[in-house]
Structure formats: C-alpha cells, structure tokens
C-alpha cells in the first residue's frame, strides 16, 4: 500500500546522449516496458503521489505515459539533477507530504521493495538517506565520502573527485535513489550552487549540506544494488534487460511454470504466467498478458496484452495483441490476432488467419487464409479458406454477423454491413452483399459455362 505522507519525484528530463537515439532515454524499453514505466511502478507502489520531471522529448513522454502526465513537471533547461528537483518542489510542498523519494529515471531495475526499504530508514528518524553500492571500478558514478567512524560526509561527482582532497577511492558510489525529509531538504535545496566541473546544480550536494548543518544522513549500502546503477548506453540497456529477463524466468521456473528453452523465453515484468502453464522458447510474453494454468504457447510467438484461459493454446509463429482465448481455444500456427479478437470456448483459427475486433463463437473454426474484421461469428460456424470480411469501404468500418451453425464456403467475400443467418450456407467463391436468411443457401458468383470443343485440340 502506498504511504499517504510520501511523494516520489522521478528525474527524467535528460536526453541520454549516449543512446544515440531521438527518443528520450527513459522511453527506451526492457522486455517491452519503458524505463520510466518501470521506475514509476516502483515509486507508485510506495508513494501516494508520483511526479515526473520532464524536459527533453516531453511530448513523446506524454504520449507514451498518459497515466503519469498529471504529475509531469517541466524542466525547460537541463541544469542538473538538483535543478530538476527544484522545479518539482512547489508541488512537493503543496502535497503536504513529509517524505520525498527521488529516483533517477534511468534505473529501471529498481523495485518497490528497495524503495520501501529506503523510506523506512528515513521514517526511523534519519533526515536524509540514499542508496549506495560498492564497485570494483567507481567509474563515472558519484563517490560516497565517509569520515573516520564511517559516517557519511557527502557525495562527490566523478568529474570533481580528487583523491588528494577527498581521500582514496573506496569504490562506494551513489546509485541515485534518495529519500528526503521534506522539511530538512527544504533548507538546502535552494542553496545549491553550480560551482563544479559540470557547472550544474547537483542533487548530490544536498548530502554534504545537510551533514554540515548537523543533520543525520545515512547511506544505505547494498551489495546487490549494482543493478540499480543508471542505464546510459545500449550496452548497459542490454545488460539490464537480460538481468530482468533471467530474474523473471527463474522466478517462473521456481513457481512451477513449464519452460522449454528457458534461456530464450522472454516474459515481461507485468505479465502473469500461472504455475502449470507451458511456454516454449523462443517466445515473448509481453505487457499485461495472462497465461493461465494448462495454457500453452509454442515457439516463435509474441503475445502482448493477451489473455489465455486455462487449456488455451497458441501454436508456433503466432502474433497476438490484446486478444483473448477462452478455455480450449486454439490459435495458429501462423495466426495473427489483433486487438479485440476473441476466441470463445474451443474455437480455432489456423494458419494465416488474421482477426481484428471479432468474436469467434464457441467451437467455431477459421482454418486457413482468412481475414475477419469487425465480425461477430456464432457458435460452431465454419469459415472456409480464403474468406474475407470486407469491413472497410474507404471511409467507415462495418460489421459482419454470421449466425450460429452457418457454413461459409471457401473464397467468399462478405461485404459489410451484412448478416448471414443461422445454419445458412454460402457457396464457395461468393461475393455476399445482401443479408442471407436463416437456413438459406446463398450462391453469388457467375454461373459456370462449359463450351464443348473449345478447349485444347487433343
């Protein structure tokens, strides 16, 4: 449960030059989820309100994350992480929160548990806390300075770090996750200066300022928090993505999900795969997909926001997006189910069948080479190979209705809006432009003429 007295600020205004991309860095994805989405998930689980400081590419951020847009704060010029927090401070203050979490937007592996832990440290009475870790090579990260008794003295950015002045490098670095007592931070946030190599306002200077004023600041050092160090390059993104992927796959295996070739199975962080489900790699199960117990996904499939009920099956090389399979339904191999495709109990679609915003009733079948768009198809209907619902007239989309038990012959074009009645039969090769009554046989094609002797000479 999020804490009512806690607000979170995600710093996400930077460009991320090292990604060589026009997208703002925090929109780069891991297992189909943006870095910002993952950080916001961790923050939103702990804090009652989440603000995001945006600048570079803010329109793209708004489009990608409308659910966060109400908490957007603009930092027009990226004058540093301290400046970014200043931009959000009016809203932090107005929220009335006593505690403020600050998260770098480029740390996608942060979890609610880690954020909660840090918050608890401050709730125990410390004025300010941040998460640190120890690296064999401190590299470009901010160095944590400690005094003789191990007490935190401050953070010095890599560019400004000088062993003569700051003491030998201990390898302890700042991960960029902070928890501030709002009343304490308020005293220093607007005293930050750009008196440093980068000429920026550093959020990290808050630590030294608070310590000098006699406040208690704690660096919570975690050995496993290397993974929280920011993602700045394509290589670091790939490493973070693989760490997230293998963590999820190992969890699923331990829970009792059957995974073949687990090293090639990708399951997104917000997907749910129940114990007793079976996935064969390579496959990608993304977004808010749910795979219930006993459901199966074959190799080379990609599912995004799909729902597979118990015993449903998606066969090899199929692609599902916001589609749903009820118990016993089967799709593929080579099926493409687009948003709004619904296969009711025991319905089946076979190879090269595309469905969009269409329902296939219980036990209905579309075995081969078919497009079903804006169609409502009743129980036990058989759709012949090559059937096309002509749902678009160039301006509007129209609906096709097919009653229960109907039989649609191969290579039929159903020109919508149109209705085929229950138990009707449509002859192969028909172009159906008018409704077909229940139990009627409709044939709408040119009659065959056999002209004797007009073939080849023997």
Report if residue 84 touches ligand UD1, rule: CB under 6 A. Answer: yes
Binding residue (CB under 6 A) for ligand UD1 from 175, 289, 290, 302: 175
For ligand UD1, the nearest residue by Cβ is 142
For ligand UD1, the closer CB: 227 or 313: 227
Binding residue (CB under 6 A) for ligand UD1 from 40, 88, 101, 155: 155
Closest Cα to residue 159, out of 142, 134, 137, 178? 142
- The pair phi, psi for residue 131, each rounded to 5°, is -95, 130
For Ca ion, the closer CB: 204 or 358: 204
Decide: 440 and 421 in contact? Cβ < 8 Å: yes
To the query of whether residue 20 is one of the catalytic residues in this protein, the response is no
Task: Give first-to-last CA distance, the chain, whole Å.
Answer: 85
* Shortest spacing between CB 36 and ligand UD1, in angstroms: 9
List C-alpha distances in Å: 315 to 299, 336, 345, 425, 456.
7, 11, 16, 29, 46
Stretch that binds ligand UD1, among 80-88, 214-222, 392-400, 449-457 (CB under 6 A): 80-88
Q: Computed from CA positions of residues 32, 37, 43, 46, in that sequence, does the dihedral angle turn out positive or negative?
A: negative
Binding residue (CB under 6 A) for ligand UD1 from 97, 145, 229, 432: 229
Report if residue 374 touches ligand UD1, rule: CB under 6 A. Answer: no
* Binding mask of the shown chain, residues 89 to 108, with x at each position contacting Ca ion by CB under 5 A: -----------------x--
Binding residue (CB under 6 A) for ligand UD1 from 65, 83, 222, 245: 83
- Both tokens of 123, joined, read 């709730």
Stretch that binds ligand UD1, among 40-48, 167-175, 270-278, 420-428 (CB under 6 A): 167-175
Report if residue 108 touches ligand UD1, rule: CB under 6 A. Answer: no
Closest Cα to residue 363, out of 343, 339, 336, 340? 343
Q: Choosing among Ca ion, ligand UD1, none, which partner's interface includes residue 79 (Cβ < 5 to 8 Å by kind)?
A: ligand UD1
Decide: 43 and 103 in contact? Cβ < 8 Å: yes
DSSP 105-122: TT-TT--HHHHHHHHHHH
Chain positions 240 to 259 lying near Ca ion, rule: CB under 5 A, are none
- The residue count for the chain: 458
Binding residue (CB under 5 A) for Ca ion from 55, 230, 311, 403: 230
- Specify which residues 313 forms β-bridges with: 296, 330
Report if residue 57 touches ligand UD1, rule: CB under 6 A. Answer: no
Stretch that binds ligand UD1, among 199-207, 250-258, 269-277, 389-397 (CB under 6 A): 199-207
- Both tokens of 15, joined, read 């460009």
DSSP 157-197: -GGG--HHHH-S---EEEEEEEEEEHHHHHHHHTT----ST
Going by DSSP bridges, is the β-strand pair 272-273/217-221 parallel, antiparallel, or unpaired? Answer: unpaired
For Ca ion, the closer CB: 127 or 205: 205
- Both tokens of 41, joined, read 């998930």
- Both tokens of 421, joined, read 């009645």
Closest Cα to residue 295, out of 285, 310, 284, 280? 310
18 Cβ contact partners less than 8 Å away, ≥ 6 residues apart: 232, 233
Chain positions 232 to 291 lying near ligand UD1, rule: CB under 6 A, are none
Report if residue 227 touches ligand UD1, rule: CB under 6 A. Answer: no
What DSSP character marks residue 20?
Answer: -
Report if residue 196 touches ligand UD1, rule: CB under 6 A. Answer: no
* Shortest spacing between CB 141 and ligand UD1, in angstroms: 4
Q: How many residues bind ligand UD1 (CB under 6 A)?
A: 28
Report if residue 204 touches ligand UD1, rule: CB under 6 A. Answer: yes
* Binding mask of the shown chain, residues 428 to 447, with x at each position contacting ligand UD1 by CB under 6 A: --------------------
Instruction: Find the helix or strand (DSSP H, E) in which 104 lies.
Output: strand 99-104
Which of 20, 83, 166, 368 is flagged as catalytic? Answer: 368
Report if residue 75 touches ligand UD1, rule: CB under 6 A. Answer: yes
Q: Choosing among Ca ion, ligand UD1, none, which partner's interface includes residue 81 (Cβ < 5 to 8 Å by kind)?
A: ligand UD1
Binding residue (CB under 6 A) for ligand UD1 from 142, 154, 287, 361: 142
List C-alpha distances in Å: 142 to 30, 181, 203, 353, 382.
25, 21, 11, 55, 66
Instruction: Find the helix or strand (DSSP H, E) in which 259 lies.
Output: strand 258-260
* Shortest spacing between CB 57 and Ca ion, in angstroms: 16
Q: Is the backbone of residue 440 left (phi > 0), alpha (psi -120 to 50) or beta? A: beta
Binding residue (CB under 6 A) for ligand UD1 from 141, 161, 188, 300: 141
* Shortest spacing between CB 350 and ligand UD1, in angstroms: 47
For ligand UD1, the closer CB: 77 or 448: 77
Q: What is the widest separation between alpha-carbon atoms in the chain?
A: 109
Stretch that binds ligand UD1, among 81-89, 239-247, 366-374, 418-426 (CB under 6 A): 81-89
* Binding mask of the shown chain, residues 313 to 332, with x at each position contacting Ca ion by CB under 5 A: --------------------
Residues designated as active site: 368
The site for Ca ion (CB under 5 A) is made up of: 106, 230
């Amino acid at each position: 449960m999020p804490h009512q007295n806690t607000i979170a600020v995600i710093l996400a205004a930077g460009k991320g030059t090292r990604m060589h991309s026009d997208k703002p860095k925090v929109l780069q994805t891991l297992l189909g989820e943006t870095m910002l989405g993952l950080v916001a998930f961790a923050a939103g689980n702990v804090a009652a309100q989440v603000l995001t400081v945006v600048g570079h590419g803010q329109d793209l951020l708004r489009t990608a994350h409308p659910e966060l847009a109400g908490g957007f704060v603009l930092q027009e010029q990226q004058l540093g992480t301290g400046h970014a927090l200043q931009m959000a401070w009016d809203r932090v203050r107005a929220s009335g929160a006593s505690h403020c979490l600050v998260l770098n937007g480029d740390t996608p592996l942060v979890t609610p548990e880690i954020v909660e832990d840090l918050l608890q440290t401050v709730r125990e009475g410390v004025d300010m806390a941040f998460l640190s870790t120890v690296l064999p090579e401190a590299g470009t990260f901010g160095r944590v300075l400690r005094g003789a008794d191990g007490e935190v003295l401050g953070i010095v950015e890599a560019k400004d770090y000088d062993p003569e002045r700051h003491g030998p490098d201990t390898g302890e670095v700042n991960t960029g996750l902070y928890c501030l007592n709002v009343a304490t931070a308020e005293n220093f946030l607007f005293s930050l200066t750009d008196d440093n190599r980068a000429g920026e306002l550093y959020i990290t200077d808050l630590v030294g300022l608070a310590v000098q004023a006699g406040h208690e600041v704690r660096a919570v050092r975690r050995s496993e928090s290397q993974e929280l160090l920011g993602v700045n390059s394509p290589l670091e993104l790939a490493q973070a993505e693989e760490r997230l992927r293998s963590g999820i796959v190992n969890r699923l295996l331990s829970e009792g999900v059957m995974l073949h070739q687990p090293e090639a199975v990708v399951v997104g962080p917000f997907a749910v795969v129940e114990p007793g489900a079976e996935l064969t790699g390579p496959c990608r199960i993304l977004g808010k997909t749910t795979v219930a117990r006993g459901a199966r996904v074959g190799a080379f499939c990609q599912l995004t926001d799909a729902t597979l009920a118990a015993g449903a099956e998606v066969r090899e090389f199929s692609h599902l997006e916001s589609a749903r399979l009820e118990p016993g339904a089967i799709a593929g191999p080579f099926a493409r189910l687009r948003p709004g495709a619904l296969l009711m109990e025991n319905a089946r679609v076979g190879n090269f069948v595309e469905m969009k915003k269409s329902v296939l009733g219980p036990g209905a079948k579309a075995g081969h080479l078919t497009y079903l768009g804006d169609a409502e198809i009743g129980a036990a209907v058989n759709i012949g190979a090559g059937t096309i619902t002509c749902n678009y007239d160039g301006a509007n989309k129209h609906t096709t209705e097919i009653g229960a038990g109907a039989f649609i012959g191969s290579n039929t074009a159903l020109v919508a809006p149109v209705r085929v009645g229950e138990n009707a039969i449509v002859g192969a090769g028909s172009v159906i432009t008018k409704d077909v009554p229940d139990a009627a046989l409709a044939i709408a094609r040119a009659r065959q003429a056999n002209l004797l002797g007009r073939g080849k000479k023997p």
